[in-house]
Amino acid sequence: MKIVIHCSTAVFAIFSILIFSFQIYYMEALPDSFKIRRGESLQLENGITANVTESEKVSLNLLGVIPIKQVSVSEIDDYDVCLSGKIIGLKIFTKGVMVVGESPVETENGNVSPAEDAGIKIGDNIITIDGKSVSSNESVSQLIHNSNGKKMSVLISRKGVEQNVTLCPAMTKNGDYKAGLWVRDSSAGIGTMTFYDPISGEYAGLGHAICDVDTGEVLSVSNGEIVEANVVNIDRGVKGESGSLCGEFSGDRIGSLNTNNEKGIYGRLDSVTDGKTMKIALKQQIKIDKAQIYATIDGNTPCFYDCEIENLKYANSPTQNMVIHITDTRLTDKTGGIVQGMSGAPIVQNGSIIGAVTHVFVNDPTRGYAIFAENMYDEMKKDGK
């Protein structure tokens, strides 16, 4: 009898630990809010049920009885957009100039580092010098050259926070004044437009930020534009080394580029053409199952390629929401899998846009991350306000 009691206690303890572990896992894995289409109810998988509570919150329960957490739910109308998948050229002019390097200044009394002494760091954006706006390497050099070595008030922006520092230019051996700064005022490249609103002309692309090639910092946009572009060659990706699409700008401006942040690039098209209209799937409607990416790897004509959604991450990351696996040999034979320039390629499942390709796994180019299309749509509409 004692053996039976001990066994029952052990089984109950193990069961309790498992239930508690599931509760902790789902509390962290599930987001605090969901959207649902008007008139529908929240539907989740994995044995999770949703029940409306008196506080107008929705209670998520495991197996219908074990409480996990309460979440808020908001009703929305359908998100209807036009599928893109086209390669676009990107031109960005930064807000001020970005500091991409620092070097010592050689003076009669030895090497000095005015920029470092002022507290200026690589990745900072210089907005003004002595109250004058700067927008190019030339404008910064000219102001420092004309300083005669006097102290200068420099307004910088560091990770979105502005502050003033004092810079004291140093005179070189040839009588010129330098600050020991290397700056960049613009960037260009190619990427993929994910979708656009056929009514407003707003568009979304890339699914991740454009970062400076030297510093890795997100480029702060003063103004920018997108232009027609074509893929002319492919550097195939292999294990340990990511590949890339090689493109060229092939036409005039087609739209503005107003926002560059962790969820992608956003702006407005100058004119809107007819396209294939699709709905944006909400995150809870996405299945761990087969899907397709709509990517351009030759010229500027996108094609569908088979892939699989292997994992979903609802919370904790605004961009790394899905793990995808490219299974279509037509694509892997040519590119090796996901390559640079493919970022923003829309992912379609069950007739709806569910997300966009964002990153490649360097050790396995056939796999990578994707962002929820719902997140990109919300960011697009935020940018359009």
The contacts of residue 355 (CB under 8 Å, 6+ apart) are 207, 286, 321, 322, 346, 347, 370, 371, 372, 373, 376
d(CA 196, CA 344): 12
One of 187, 197, 343, 359 is an active-site residue; which one? 343
Query: What six digits make up the tokens of 381?
Result: 């509409």
Residue 114 contacts residue 179 (beta carbons within 8 Å):
yes
* Active-site residue, 124 included: no
d(CA 186, CA 97): 8
CA-wise closest residue to 375 among 295, 280, 270: 280
One of 117, 235, 298, 328 is an active-site residue; which one? 328
Radius of gyration of the chain (CA): 26
Q: What count of other Cβ atoms lies within 10 Å of the Cβ of residue 91?
A: 16
* Active-site residue, 343 included: yes
- Helix, coil or strand: residue 287: coil
One of 187, 197, 208, 212 is an active-site residue; which one? 208
d(CA 360, CA 340): 8
Residue type, 352: S
Q: Within a 13 Å sphere around the CA of 11, how many CA atoms are in the beta-carbon half?
A: 6
d(CA 115, CA 113): 6
* Active-site residue, 55 included: no
- Characterize the bridge pairing of strands 58-62 and 87-102: unpaired
Q: So which residues are the catalytic ones?
A: 208, 328, 343
